Amino acid sequence: MDFPEAVYVTTDGYVPCSGVLLTPTVVLSAGHCRGRESTYDVVAPNASGQKAHGSSSWSPYDGNPAKSSDVMLVFLDTPIHIAAYPTLGATQVAAGTQVVDIGRTLNGSIGTDDYVSSAVTIQGPATALGFPYNYEALPDISENGDSGGPIVLAGTHTIVAIVDVDTTEESISESTPIDLFARIDLVHDAIESAIASGPPDAGATDAGPPHSSASGASGGCTLATGDAGPFSVFAGCLAAAALVLRRRLSRRAARSVLSDASMRKVRDIMEPNVFWLAADAPLTRAAETLAERQISGAPVCEAGGEIVGMFTKTELAEYYGAAHETRLVRDVMTPTVVSVHPDDEIERAVALMAFEGVHRVLVLDGDRLEGIVTSMDVLRELAGFPRREHRVIAVAPPP
């Protein structure tokens, strides 16, 4: 079976990786292949050797494959044309499924004679190893330095994963060497949103069936993906907002708005005055406070100042029942804290919101709480609206 969509990616002129064409101007590769200079040279050896250059990329990967998905999109300056483009798998792959790696870069080198692997078997999510964003796979095929290879369902053109790490190379304790493949189903909606929000024509396919989209052709809001992946209201809405902007503005103006937004920093749009809730506060008082402050959520802190979770109207609606008078904030809060650094680019905040299914991320500089960014802050920036006046909603930071 031929795979004309498989490409080789050279990052910053020297790092060899592999990838796959999703559209004529979008390549999917591994997040660990993202370069500091963000320059990418792409070759499609099975599509008449077509070449293209990319100067921008998107990735939710934070360097830790146990906590983020090792995927990346490269946006090409000129298109690479093939007869049909592959689809993205939106559901979890069942244990026992046969897959193949269609873009191998063995021993750090690129060769057309070894770009398709033998079939390997997905064992299931790598939860037991502490890598829930990955699949475990046997037999081990990437021990010789495979990097970024797209993983497709055997006999199809459906992409379900990207080669992440090899347990032997990473010295991960495991009796049998296995591969870890970054799961596509968990970032399916975030990828589609990034394509819709990317450069004009990024989502256009000039031949064959278009790649799948959980947000629909119009990029509308998706309330939930069920088994297909995490909750992604914001991902769908952001894609819809980007498409509406492009229809209302000229392509040049839209490109400027999106480019400027991606280059700006989190500190440029964050709310620096952050209200926080005490973990031992009664649920009734927390409900009154959210209403008084006219906010929909806040971080939760222990008496010593440690941030231990988030409390939002979602938890309030779920738990504010017959026994609410005896509940504390710590009993119902979400113990996961999603955060960015003040100097992170806004696109990272967007990726985390879409991937984690949240509408707000905290801005932390080390252990210090600097601010908060919400989905509305990002949409205002994307639309080019003036920065809102900061409301004084706290008299002091956490103790």
From first to last of its 399 residues, the chain has per-residue pLDDT tens of 788 899 988 887 766 788 999 999 999 999 888 877 778 999 888 888 899 999 888 999 888 888 889 999 999 999 999 999 999 999 999 999 999 988 765 554 555 555 678 889 999 998 888 888 999 888 877 655 566 789 999 989 999 999 887 665 566 766 667 888 999 999 999 999 888 877 766 655 554 333 333 223 223 333 333 333 333 444 444 544 444 343 333 333 433 444 454 567 899 888 888 888 889 988 888 888 888 877 888 899 887 778 888 988 887 777 765 556 678 888 888 888 888 899 888 888 887 787 677 888 999 888 788 889 988 888 877 777 666 554 433 333 444
Determine the Cα–Cα distance for residues 176 and 366; give it in Å rounded to an integer. 37
What is the distance between the alpha carbons of residues 225 and 88, in angstroms, rounded to a whole number? 14
- pLDDT at res. 88: 93
Domain ranges of the chain: 266-383
pLDDT of residue 210: 34
Angle at CA 288, nearest 5°, toward 284 and 291? 145
Would you say 328 and 283 are in contact if contact means Cβ atoms under 8 Å apart?
A: yes
- Of the options 3.40.50.300, 3.40.50.1360, 3.30.470.20, 3.10.580.10, the CATH number for the domain spanning 266-383: 3.10.580.10
Structure tokens at 67: 């906590």
Q: Residue 122: what residue type? A: I
Instruction: Tell me the backbone φ, ψ of residue 107, rounded to 5 degrees.
Output: 55, 30
Q: What is the pTM of this model?
A: 0.53
CB-based burial, 225-234: b 16+ in 10 Å, e otherwise: beebbbbbbb
The DSSP code sequence of 139-190 is: S---TTT--S-EEEETTS-EEEEEEEEETTTTT---SS--EEEEESGGGHHH
**pLDDT of 386:** 61
- pLDDT at res. 127: 87
